[in-house]
Structures are given as C-alpha cells and as structure tokens.
Chain A
Amino acid sequence: MRTAHQFAMLNSHIKAESIEATEYPDLSQKYNVYGVPKSVINEDVQFEGAVPEAVFVKNLMKAVQ
C-alpha cells in the first residue's frame, strides 16, 4: 500500500486510494476482494498480496500500456 502511495507522490497522473475493505463491503464485493491486500489498477489489472516494488511497477506499466 505504501508503494502505491509513493507512486502517487512521484507522478501527478497517479492516484492511490487505500480502502478499508470491511467499511466498504459494496466496493469489496464489486472488486472480488477475498484476501488483503488486494490491488486494482485502472479497473483491469488486479493482484493480491504485498508484492515487491519491482512487481508493483510492472503491473502499473501493464495497466497503462
């Protein structure tokens, strides 16, 4: 989660939202959140788990291609 926030701080095109899953059950259901952390980039790239920054950036680049 911190990685996503760091990305947002570096680039004004990037927004990073942390969402407390239990407080927003509708959103959690919409994005099929069964485990946390779960990341969703621009609706289409999704992955679970706390991944290293190199993997996170790879997913980010996949989402903007």
Chain B
Amino acid sequence: MAKLLSEKDATAIKDYFSQQLVNPVTLRLFLQDPSEPGECMYCSETEQIAQEVVDLSDKLNLVVHKATTEDKAKEYNVQYFPALVLEKEEGTDTGVRFYGIPSGYEFGVLIEDLADLSSGKIKLTADVIQQVESVQKDVTIKVFVTPT
C-alpha cells in the first residue's frame, strides 16, 4: 500500500520527534466495527496515517479498537468514528480527541500535541496557564475544522 506520508515529511517528522519526544505516548484509535451499519468515512486512512506516525518514533505506541458500543468506547467517552485519543505514558486520558482523519492543518496539530505531551512542556503564557488551571468545573471544548 502506498504511504500517505511523503518520504520528505516522514524524515522531517522523525527528526522533530527525536529532538522533542521524552516520555512514551499512546495513541488510542477507535474505529467503527465492520459489522455495524453505515460506512465510516476515512477509518482505514486514519488507521494508516496513525500507524505511519507511530513508526517514526519508538516512544509512540498505537492501540486500535474496533467498536461502536464496546466498553472501551464508553470508557473513553468516544461518540463518533474514527476517534483518536491521546494518552500519557501512565495511561491517563488527556482529554484530547481527534474526530475524523487528522490531515492538513490538523495533522500538524497532532504532531505538536505529541511533542507537548511527551515533553510535558506547554507553550502558553504564565497568566493563561494560571487561569486554565483554576477551572474546577467540567468543560468540553469542541473545535470544528476542515483539512485545508
């Protein structure tokens, strides 16, 4: 199967990961079970791109679940497919979800997210960090994007 990542991009990302990644990160991918009705747009492409990304660093690990009503999907509160959940090494869900194929701009965000998570460095101003940390209520932020 042809690669989705160009050789040039793969080399650049591999290089970036070797400089930025410190601790292991798990990408947990939820795909629609083939027995379920309805087609999952881009499920197979999302699995392929996720696999190509984790192959670029031994600190990254991919776990694939095929589900809709499976317990894992409930446990991780995944509502749509494909869904990519980012986890820190100790198995903590970071609350970061990608619904749909991470391509275009989103792909760049995924790569940067992996570096942020793995290194534990969050590049925000001290004032913003303080406000974010002060939040005591459950919040869900949805950001709608398109690939370009």
Name A residues whose Cβ lies closer than 8 Å to a Cβ of B. 1-24, 27-28, 31, 33, 36-42, 53-54, 57, 60-61, 63-64
**Minimal Cβ-Cβ distance residue in A for B83:** A17
Residue on A nearest B104 in the bound complex, by CB: A20
A34 to chain B, nearest CB (A): 10
Please name all residues of chain A whose beta carbon is closer than 8 Å to the beta carbon of B105 when the two chains form the complex.
1
Q: Verify if B145 is at the interface (C-beta below 8 Å from A).
A: yes
The 8 lowest CB-CB distance pairs between A and B, nearest first, are: A20-B100, A8-B95, A15-B95, A23-B100, A17-B97, A40-B142, A4-B141, A38-B144
Binding site for A on B (CB under 8 A): 41-42, 77, 80, 92, 94-102, 105-106, 109, 112-113, 116-117, 122-125, 127-129, 131-133, 135-147
**A14→B135 contact, CB < 8 A:** yes
**Most A-side CB within 10 Å, residue of B128, B140, B144:** B144
19 residue pairs from A and B, CB less than 8 Å apart: A5-B116, A8-B141, A9-B95, A12-B92, A14-B138, A14-B140, A15-B140, A17-B97, A17-B143, A18-B109, A18-B145, A19-B99, A19-B142, A20-B100, A20-B101, A20-B146, A33-B144, A39-B141, A61-B135
Report the minimal beta-carbon distance from A60 to chain B, rounded to whole angstroms.
7
Task: Please state if A19 and B96 are interface contacts (CB–CB under 8 Å).
Answer: no
Q: How far is the CB of B127 from chain A (nearest CB, A)?
A: 8
Cβ of A17 and Cβ of B100 under 8 Å apart?
no
Q: Name the prevailing secondary structure of the A interface residues.
A: mixed
B135 touches A23 (CB 8 A): no
**Alpha-carbon distance A33/B145, docked complex (angstroms):** 9
Q: How far is the CA of A11 from the CA of B101 in the complex (A)?
A: 25
Question: How long is the Cα–Cα vector from A4 to B94 in the complex, in angstroms?
Answer: 12
* A17–B99 CB distance below 8 A: yes
Say which residue of B97, B123, B139, B145 sits within 8 Å of A36 (CB atoms).
B145
CB contacts (< 8 Å) of B137 on chain A: these are 13, 64
Q: Is the CB of A37 within 8 A of B145?
A: yes
